[in-house]
Structure 1
Amino acid sequence: MESKKPATINEPEAEYQLYSYADYLTWQFDEVVELIKGKVFKKAATAPKRIHQRISGELFLQIGNFLKSQKCQVYSAPFDVRFPKKSKEDSQIFDVVQPDICVICDLDKLDDRGCLGAPDLIVEILSPSNNETELRYKFDLYESQGVKEYWIVSPENQTFTINTLIDQRYVTSRMMTSGDVVESAVIRGFSLDLKAFFEGVD
Protein backbone atom coordinates (compact mmCIF):
# COMPACT_ATOMS: atom_id res chain seq x y z
CA MET A 1 0.00 0.00 0.00
CA GLU A 2 1.39 3.36 -1.04
CA SER A 3 2.01 5.71 1.89
CA LYS A 4 0.63 9.19 2.08
CA LYS A 5 2.91 11.99 0.99
CA PRO A 6 4.04 13.93 4.06
CA ALA A 7 3.39 17.63 4.44
CA THR A 8 5.00 19.94 6.94
CA ILE A 9 2.98 22.11 9.30
CA ASN A 10 3.95 25.09 7.14
CA GLU A 11 2.03 23.70 4.15
CA PRO A 12 -1.73 24.38 3.78
CA GLU A 13 -2.77 20.70 3.50
CA ALA A 14 -0.98 19.88 6.76
CA GLU A 15 -3.82 21.46 8.70
CA TYR A 16 -6.13 18.69 7.46
CA GLN A 17 -3.85 15.75 6.68
CA LEU A 18 -2.85 13.45 9.55
CA TYR A 19 -0.06 10.88 9.46
CA SER A 20 0.63 7.83 11.58
CA TYR A 21 3.73 5.94 12.63
CA ALA A 22 2.94 3.48 9.81
CA ASP A 23 3.34 6.35 7.32
CA TYR A 24 6.43 7.60 9.12
CA LEU A 25 8.18 4.24 8.66
CA THR A 26 7.93 4.54 4.86
CA TRP A 27 9.49 8.00 4.56
CA GLN A 28 13.08 8.80 3.70
CA PHE A 29 14.35 12.25 4.63
CA ASP A 30 17.83 13.63 5.13
CA GLU A 31 16.60 15.69 8.08
CA VAL A 32 14.97 14.52 11.31
CA VAL A 33 11.20 14.15 11.06
CA GLU A 34 8.81 13.96 14.00
CA LEU A 35 5.05 13.55 14.33
CA ILE A 36 2.98 15.51 16.84
CA LYS A 37 -0.77 14.92 16.77
CA GLY A 38 -0.35 13.44 13.31
CA LYS A 39 1.35 16.52 11.87
CA VAL A 40 4.85 16.47 10.44
CA PHE A 41 7.63 18.52 11.96
CA LYS A 42 10.87 18.67 9.99
CA LYS A 43 13.91 19.86 11.85
CA ALA A 44 16.64 21.80 10.04
CA ALA A 45 18.44 19.87 7.32
CA THR A 46 21.78 21.23 8.47
CA ALA A 47 23.63 19.59 11.36
CA PRO A 48 23.14 21.06 14.85
CA LYS A 49 25.68 23.62 15.99
CA ARG A 50 28.81 22.32 17.68
CA ILE A 51 27.74 23.63 21.11
CA HIS A 52 24.44 21.73 20.81
CA GLN A 53 26.36 18.53 20.19
CA ARG A 54 28.83 19.22 23.01
CA ILE A 55 26.03 19.76 25.51
CA SER A 56 24.13 16.70 24.32
CA GLY A 57 27.22 14.50 24.40
CA GLU A 58 28.45 15.63 27.80
CA LEU A 59 25.02 15.40 29.41
CA PHE A 60 24.49 11.94 27.93
CA LEU A 61 27.84 10.79 29.35
CA GLN A 62 27.14 12.16 32.81
CA ILE A 63 23.67 10.62 33.00
CA GLY A 64 24.91 7.35 31.51
CA ASN A 65 27.78 7.05 33.96
CA PHE A 66 25.43 7.73 36.87
CA LEU A 67 22.98 5.05 35.69
CA LYS A 68 25.54 2.29 35.14
CA SER A 69 24.56 0.44 38.31
CA GLN A 70 20.83 1.15 37.98
CA LYS A 71 18.03 -0.37 35.92
CA CYS A 72 17.19 2.83 34.04
CA GLN A 73 18.69 3.29 30.57
CA VAL A 74 19.61 6.47 28.71
CA TYR A 75 19.38 7.02 24.95
CA SER A 76 20.29 9.89 22.63
CA ALA A 77 18.93 10.95 19.25
CA PRO A 78 18.27 9.51 16.79
CA PHE A 79 15.95 7.34 18.88
CA ASP A 80 12.21 7.08 18.24
CA VAL A 81 9.80 7.59 21.11
CA ARG A 82 6.23 6.60 20.19
CA PHE A 83 3.27 7.70 22.28
CA PRO A 84 0.30 5.34 21.84
CA LYS A 85 -3.15 6.41 22.97
CA LYS A 86 -5.97 3.94 22.41
CA SER A 87 -3.94 1.41 20.42
CA LYS A 88 -0.31 0.32 20.03
CA GLU A 89 -0.81 -0.45 16.34
CA ASP A 90 1.54 1.53 14.07
CA SER A 91 -1.39 2.94 12.10
CA GLN A 92 -2.96 4.29 15.31
CA ILE A 93 0.11 6.08 16.71
CA PHE A 94 0.23 9.76 15.77
CA ASP A 95 2.98 11.07 18.05
CA VAL A 96 6.60 10.09 17.32
CA VAL A 97 9.50 12.23 18.51
CA GLN A 98 13.27 12.03 18.72
CA PRO A 99 14.34 13.76 21.94
CA ASP A 100 17.97 14.77 22.31
CA ILE A 101 18.19 12.55 25.40
CA CYS A 102 15.69 10.33 27.20
CA VAL A 103 15.79 8.06 30.23
CA ILE A 104 13.56 4.99 30.46
CA CYS A 105 13.19 3.08 33.74
CA ASP A 106 10.37 0.75 32.67
CA LEU A 107 12.40 -1.46 30.34
CA ASP A 108 9.24 -3.19 29.07
CA LYS A 109 8.66 -0.03 27.02
CA LEU A 110 11.82 -0.68 24.98
CA ASP A 111 11.81 -2.62 21.72
CA ASP A 112 13.98 -2.81 18.61
CA ARG A 113 12.43 0.39 17.24
CA GLY A 114 12.92 2.55 20.32
CA CYS A 115 10.53 3.35 23.15
CA LEU A 116 6.79 2.65 23.11
CA GLY A 117 5.30 4.83 25.82
CA ALA A 118 6.44 7.76 27.93
CA PRO A 119 10.09 7.93 29.02
CA ASP A 120 10.64 8.94 32.63
CA LEU A 121 12.86 11.87 31.64
CA ILE A 122 13.26 13.78 28.39
CA VAL A 123 15.89 16.42 27.62
CA GLU A 124 15.51 18.81 24.69
CA ILE A 125 18.35 21.14 23.76
CA LEU A 126 17.13 24.27 22.04
CA SER A 127 18.34 25.53 18.69
CA PRO A 128 17.09 28.38 16.49
CA SER A 129 15.19 25.91 14.30
CA ASN A 130 13.29 24.07 17.04
CA ASN A 131 12.50 26.51 19.85
CA GLU A 132 8.81 26.87 18.99
CA THR A 133 8.38 23.11 18.70
CA GLU A 134 10.00 22.43 22.07
CA LEU A 135 8.39 25.26 23.99
CA ARG A 136 4.86 24.85 22.67
CA TYR A 137 3.99 21.54 21.05
CA LYS A 138 6.33 19.20 22.90
CA PHE A 139 5.57 20.71 26.30
CA ASP A 140 1.89 19.89 25.80
CA LEU A 141 2.66 16.45 24.35
CA TYR A 142 5.00 15.38 27.12
CA GLU A 143 2.69 16.67 29.82
CA SER A 144 -0.37 14.91 28.39
CA GLN A 145 1.52 11.65 27.87
CA GLY A 146 2.91 11.50 31.39
CA VAL A 147 6.62 12.19 30.94
CA LYS A 148 7.61 12.66 34.58
CA GLU A 149 10.38 15.18 33.99
CA TYR A 150 11.16 17.37 30.98
CA TRP A 151 14.37 19.39 30.85
CA ILE A 152 14.84 22.28 28.43
CA VAL A 153 18.43 23.40 27.91
CA SER A 154 19.36 26.64 26.14
CA PRO A 155 22.97 26.58 24.86
CA GLU A 156 22.79 30.23 23.83
CA ASN A 157 21.75 31.48 27.26
CA GLN A 158 23.37 28.66 29.24
CA THR A 159 20.16 27.99 31.12
CA PHE A 160 18.28 24.93 32.38
CA THR A 161 14.55 24.66 33.05
CA ILE A 162 12.96 21.59 34.65
CA ASN A 163 9.31 20.72 34.21
CA THR A 164 8.16 18.20 36.83
CA LEU A 165 4.87 16.34 36.46
CA ILE A 166 2.73 16.80 39.55
CA ASP A 167 -0.95 15.79 39.52
CA GLN A 168 -0.77 15.36 35.72
CA ARG A 169 0.42 18.94 35.16
CA TYR A 170 3.91 20.34 34.75
CA VAL A 171 5.31 22.54 37.47
CA THR A 172 8.09 24.61 35.95
CA SER A 173 11.20 25.53 37.89
CA ARG A 174 12.74 28.96 37.77
CA MET A 175 15.31 29.38 35.02
CA MET A 176 18.60 28.01 36.35
CA THR A 177 22.05 29.01 35.18
CA SER A 178 25.70 29.16 36.28
CA GLY A 179 25.87 28.92 40.06
CA ASP A 180 22.82 26.65 40.28
CA VAL A 181 22.81 22.89 40.77
CA VAL A 182 20.29 20.80 38.85
CA GLU A 183 18.77 17.92 40.80
CA SER A 184 16.42 15.36 39.31
CA ALA A 185 13.32 13.92 40.97
CA VAL A 186 13.41 11.04 38.48
CA ILE A 187 17.12 10.15 38.58
CA ARG A 188 17.41 10.28 42.34
CA GLY A 189 20.87 11.29 43.53
CA PHE A 190 21.90 12.80 40.19
CA SER A 191 23.03 16.42 40.29
CA LEU A 192 24.61 18.78 37.80
CA ASP A 193 26.66 21.84 38.74
CA LEU A 194 25.77 24.22 35.93
CA LYS A 195 28.83 26.44 36.35
CA ALA A 196 31.19 23.50 35.89
CA PHE A 197 28.99 21.95 33.21
CA PHE A 198 28.77 24.97 30.93
CA GLU A 199 32.44 25.84 31.42
CA GLY A 200 33.29 22.29 30.36
CA VAL A 201 31.37 22.47 27.08
CA ASP A 202 32.51 25.90 25.85
Structure 2
Amino acid sequence: MEKSKDKVKEPFSAYGSYSYADYLSWQLDEMVELIRGRVFRQAAAPRLIHQRISGKIFHQIYTFLQGKNCEVFTAPFDVRLPVSSKDLDKIDTVVQPDLCVVCDPEKLDELGCVGAPDLIIEILSPGNNKKELQLKYEVYEASGVKEYWIIHPDERTLLIYTLEGAKYQPSRLFTLGDRVKSQALTGFELDLDEVFGEL
Protein backbone atom coordinates (compact mmCIF):
# COMPACT_ATOMS: atom_id res chain seq x y z
CA MET A 1 0.00 0.00 0.00
CA GLU A 2 1.41 3.37 -1.01
CA LYS A 3 2.09 5.84 1.79
CA SER A 4 0.63 9.31 1.49
CA LYS A 5 3.24 11.98 0.99
CA ASP A 6 2.35 13.89 4.15
CA LYS A 7 3.20 10.85 6.28
CA VAL A 8 6.64 10.28 4.79
CA LYS A 9 9.27 11.61 7.18
CA GLU A 10 11.75 13.98 5.59
CA PRO A 11 15.43 13.09 6.02
CA PHE A 12 16.23 16.59 7.27
CA SER A 13 14.94 19.27 9.61
CA ALA A 14 14.62 22.96 8.79
CA TYR A 15 16.76 23.60 11.87
CA GLY A 16 19.39 20.94 11.35
CA SER A 17 22.93 21.27 10.05
CA TYR A 18 24.00 18.96 7.24
CA SER A 19 26.91 18.06 5.00
CA TYR A 20 27.24 17.08 1.37
CA ALA A 21 27.49 13.45 2.51
CA ASP A 22 24.02 13.82 4.08
CA TYR A 23 22.75 15.52 0.92
CA LEU A 24 23.89 12.60 -1.25
CA SER A 25 22.03 10.13 0.96
CA TRP A 26 18.64 11.82 0.49
CA GLN A 27 16.23 10.52 -2.13
CA LEU A 28 14.08 13.52 -2.94
CA ASP A 29 11.75 14.41 -5.77
CA GLU A 30 12.55 18.10 -5.36
CA MET A 31 15.74 20.10 -5.72
CA VAL A 32 17.36 21.37 -2.53
CA GLU A 33 20.55 23.29 -1.81
CA LEU A 34 22.75 23.44 1.27
CA ILE A 35 24.07 26.82 2.36
CA ARG A 36 26.33 26.68 5.40
CA GLY A 37 24.65 23.47 6.49
CA ARG A 38 21.06 24.71 6.18
CA VAL A 39 18.63 23.16 3.70
CA PHE A 40 16.87 25.40 1.18
CA ARG A 41 14.15 24.02 -1.06
CA GLN A 42 13.52 25.07 -4.62
CA ALA A 43 10.22 26.95 -4.29
CA ALA A 44 8.73 25.50 -7.51
CA ALA A 45 9.67 24.54 -11.03
CA PRO A 46 11.20 27.53 -12.87
CA ARG A 47 8.75 29.73 -14.75
CA LEU A 48 8.69 29.89 -18.54
CA ILE A 49 10.44 33.29 -18.63
CA HIS A 50 13.21 31.89 -16.40
CA GLN A 51 13.78 28.94 -18.72
CA ARG A 52 13.82 31.10 -21.84
CA ILE A 53 16.40 33.48 -20.38
CA SER A 54 18.53 30.60 -19.14
CA GLY A 55 18.41 28.90 -22.53
CA LYS A 56 19.37 32.04 -24.44
CA ILE A 57 22.34 32.78 -22.19
CA PHE A 58 23.49 29.16 -22.13
CA HIS A 59 23.46 29.07 -25.94
CA GLN A 60 25.53 32.26 -26.24
CA ILE A 61 28.10 31.17 -23.66
CA TYR A 62 28.31 27.62 -25.03
CA THR A 63 28.92 28.95 -28.54
CA PHE A 64 31.56 31.40 -27.29
CA LEU A 65 33.43 28.68 -25.37
CA GLN A 66 33.87 26.32 -28.33
CA GLY A 67 37.58 25.53 -28.62
CA LYS A 68 38.36 27.07 -25.21
CA ASN A 69 39.24 25.42 -21.91
CA CYS A 70 36.14 26.59 -20.02
CA GLU A 71 32.82 24.73 -19.85
CA VAL A 72 29.33 26.04 -19.10
CA PHE A 73 26.83 24.01 -17.06
CA THR A 74 23.15 24.46 -16.31
CA ALA A 75 21.10 23.35 -13.29
CA PRO A 76 20.76 20.80 -11.91
CA PHE A 77 24.54 20.69 -11.41
CA ASP A 78 26.09 20.43 -7.95
CA VAL A 79 28.65 23.08 -7.07
CA ARG A 80 30.38 22.24 -3.80
CA LEU A 81 32.05 25.12 -2.02
CA PRO A 82 34.46 23.67 0.56
CA VAL A 83 35.85 25.83 3.35
CA SER A 84 38.53 23.70 5.01
CA SER A 85 38.30 20.27 3.40
CA LYS A 86 37.02 18.57 0.26
CA ASP A 87 35.79 15.58 2.30
CA LEU A 88 32.09 15.03 1.61
CA ASP A 89 31.22 15.11 5.31
CA LYS A 90 33.08 18.41 5.80
CA ILE A 91 31.45 20.36 2.94
CA ASP A 92 28.34 22.19 4.15
CA THR A 93 27.52 24.25 1.05
CA VAL A 94 26.30 22.78 -2.22
CA VAL A 95 24.37 24.96 -4.63
CA GLN A 96 22.84 24.50 -8.06
CA PRO A 97 23.31 27.76 -9.94
CA ASP A 98 21.11 28.37 -12.96
CA LEU A 99 24.31 28.63 -15.03
CA CYS A 100 27.99 28.41 -14.17
CA VAL A 101 31.27 28.44 -16.05
CA VAL A 102 34.27 26.43 -14.87
CA CYS A 103 37.67 27.06 -16.45
CA ASP A 104 39.78 24.76 -14.26
CA PRO A 105 39.18 21.11 -15.26
CA GLU A 106 40.72 19.99 -11.93
CA LYS A 107 37.56 21.28 -10.22
CA LEU A 108 35.31 18.90 -12.17
CA ASP A 109 34.45 15.36 -11.14
CA GLU A 110 31.57 12.93 -11.61
CA LEU A 111 29.54 14.71 -8.92
CA GLY A 112 29.88 18.18 -10.47
CA CYS A 113 32.21 20.99 -9.44
CA VAL A 114 34.25 21.25 -6.25
CA GLY A 115 35.52 24.77 -5.69
CA ALA A 116 34.51 28.15 -7.03
CA PRO A 117 33.38 28.42 -10.66
CA ASP A 118 34.73 31.42 -12.57
CA LEU A 119 31.24 32.73 -13.35
CA ILE A 120 27.88 32.05 -11.74
CA ILE A 121 24.56 33.31 -13.12
CA GLU A 122 21.39 33.21 -11.06
CA ILE A 123 17.95 34.12 -12.42
CA LEU A 124 15.60 35.32 -9.71
CA SER A 125 12.32 33.52 -9.14
CA PRO A 126 9.46 34.42 -6.80
CA GLY A 127 10.39 33.27 -3.31
CA ASN A 128 14.16 32.91 -3.77
CA ASN A 129 15.30 36.54 -3.77
CA LYS A 130 16.70 36.53 -0.23
CA LYS A 131 18.61 33.32 -0.93
CA GLU A 132 20.16 34.71 -4.13
CA LEU A 133 20.70 38.29 -3.01
CA GLN A 134 22.08 37.66 0.47
CA LEU A 135 22.97 34.07 1.32
CA LYS A 136 24.45 33.02 -2.01
CA TYR A 137 26.11 36.41 -2.46
CA GLU A 138 27.96 35.85 0.82
CA VAL A 139 29.13 32.30 0.06
CA TYR A 140 30.08 33.13 -3.53
CA GLU A 141 32.15 36.08 -2.38
CA ALA A 142 33.81 34.09 0.42
CA SER A 143 34.49 31.14 -1.92
CA GLY A 144 36.19 33.26 -4.58
CA VAL A 145 33.66 33.16 -7.44
CA LYS A 146 35.17 35.74 -9.79
CA GLU A 147 31.87 37.00 -11.21
CA TYR A 148 28.29 36.67 -9.99
CA TRP A 149 25.46 37.77 -12.28
CA ILE A 150 21.95 38.29 -10.93
CA ILE A 151 19.14 38.57 -13.46
CA HIS A 152 15.68 39.90 -12.61
CA PRO A 153 13.48 38.51 -15.39
CA ASP A 154 10.38 40.59 -14.71
CA GLU A 155 12.32 43.85 -14.60
CA ARG A 156 14.62 42.82 -17.50
CA THR A 157 17.75 43.78 -15.55
CA LEU A 158 21.20 42.34 -14.89
CA LEU A 159 23.55 43.24 -12.04
CA ILE A 160 27.14 41.98 -12.03
CA TYR A 161 29.29 41.53 -8.94
CA THR A 162 33.00 41.31 -9.75
CA LEU A 163 35.48 40.05 -7.17
CA GLU A 164 38.20 42.61 -6.47
CA GLY A 165 40.53 41.37 -3.77
CA ALA A 166 38.22 39.57 -1.36
CA LYS A 167 35.14 41.77 -1.92
CA TYR A 168 32.50 42.06 -4.62
CA GLN A 169 32.12 45.33 -6.47
CA PRO A 170 28.72 45.92 -8.11
CA SER A 171 28.24 47.12 -11.67
CA ARG A 172 25.60 49.58 -12.70
CA LEU A 173 22.22 48.04 -13.46
CA PHE A 174 22.13 46.78 -17.06
CA THR A 175 18.94 46.44 -19.11
CA LEU A 176 17.58 46.42 -22.65
CA GLY A 177 19.91 48.19 -25.07
CA ASP A 178 23.05 47.20 -23.17
CA ARG A 179 25.86 44.90 -24.24
CA VAL A 180 27.51 43.39 -21.17
CA LYS A 181 31.18 42.38 -21.05
CA SER A 182 32.46 39.69 -18.72
CA GLN A 183 35.76 40.10 -16.91
CA ALA A 184 35.81 36.41 -15.98
CA LEU A 185 35.38 35.32 -19.63
CA THR A 186 37.66 37.62 -21.59
CA GLY A 187 36.10 38.57 -24.90
CA PHE A 188 32.56 37.45 -24.07
CA GLU A 189 29.77 39.99 -24.57
CA LEU A 190 26.09 39.44 -23.89
CA ASP A 191 23.54 41.45 -25.85
CA LEU A 192 20.63 42.00 -23.48
CA ASP A 193 18.26 42.78 -26.37
CA GLU A 194 18.77 39.17 -27.47
CA VAL A 195 18.23 37.90 -23.92
CA PHE A 196 15.21 39.99 -22.92
CA GLY A 197 13.66 40.57 -26.34
CA GLU A 198 10.50 38.67 -27.30
CA LEU A 199 9.98 37.11 -23.88
TM-score, with length taken from structure 1: 0.91
Residue identity in the other structure for 2:192: L
Superposed CA RMSD: 1.1
| Aligned positions of 1:37-186 closer than 5 A | 37-44=36-43, 46-186=44-184
Aligned twin of 2:189? 191
TM-score by length of 2: 0.93
Counterparts of 1:143 and 1:185 in 2: how far apart (Å)? 16
Q: Give the superposition deviation at 1:174.
A: 1.2
Pairs aligned (count): 190
Q: Which runs of 5+ in 1 are unaligned?
A: 9-13
CA deviation map 1:40-68 (0-9, x unaligned): 00112x32110100001111111000001
Q: Deviation per CA, 1:95-131: give whole Å up to 9, x if none.
A: 0000000000011000000001000000000000211
Query: Unaligned 5+ residue runs, structure 2?
Result: 1-9
CA distance in structure 2 between the partners assigned to 1:5 and 1:31 by the alignment? 13
| Structure 2 counterpart SS, 1:99 | coil
Counterpart code for 2:148? Y
**CA deviations over 1:3-35 (Å, ceiling 9, x no partner):** x93123xxxxx1xx2100000001122221000
Which letter does structure 2 place at the counterpart of 1:5? P
Moved over 3 A (4+): none
Q: Percent identity?
A: 54
